[in-house]
Homo-oligomer: A and B are copies of this chain.
């Protein structure tokens, strides 16, 4: 009998309760990146993503994540962050900044609002000013910056590993 056999439809891990992390994304240039994030969020059992601006989820990329994740549309990030902080969420941005902590060592509070910047501008100063914590993924080589969909997916992985 082979040691490893491919399982095409392995049953998912059941969560004992709803995940306490919500994603909030700045207006993105690319619907591909947003849709990649929605697919990853669906797989990790994330319940909700808040999209700012006019981004549309491409169902060919997000797959069933487009149905399993609630998508809420807002015009800008600052009021979203303020509201969630009032509700007890810890606002964590993903960005290279002066005060960022390494994702390797940051312990995510269970109630986290994860704030993702846009491809070109990242998180703007008025948004950074609202955050409790900023994390970054260490960079070792060119092109010196992760794709935003990749970076957000890695962040979700780290959160879910800590709250599994």
A5, A9, A67, A147: most-surrounded residue (chain B CB, <10 A): A147
Q: Is the CB of A7 within 8 A of B97?
A: yes
Q: Are the C-beta atoms of B67 and A164 separated by less than 8 Å?
A: no
Task: Assess the B39–A146 pair: CB atoms within 8 A.
Answer: yes
- Mostly, the A contact residues are loop
Interface size class on chain A is 35 or more
Closest to A69 in B: B141
The 8 A CB mask of A33-52 against B (1 = contact, 0 = none) is: 00010011011111000000
Known contacts A8-B96, A45-B141, then 12 further A-B pairs from the complex at CB < 8 Å, ordered by chain A residue: A4-B129, A6-B97, A6-B123, A6-B128, A10-B96, A13-B139, A15-B140, A39-B143, A43-B144, A63-B142, A64-B144, A140-B160
Please list the residues of chain A having a beta carbon within 8 angstroms of any beta carbon in chain B.
2-10, 12-15, 36, 39-40, 42-46, 61, 63-65, 67-68, 93, 95-100, 104, 122-125, 128-129, 131, 134, 136-147, 149-150, 153-154, 157-158, 160-161, 164
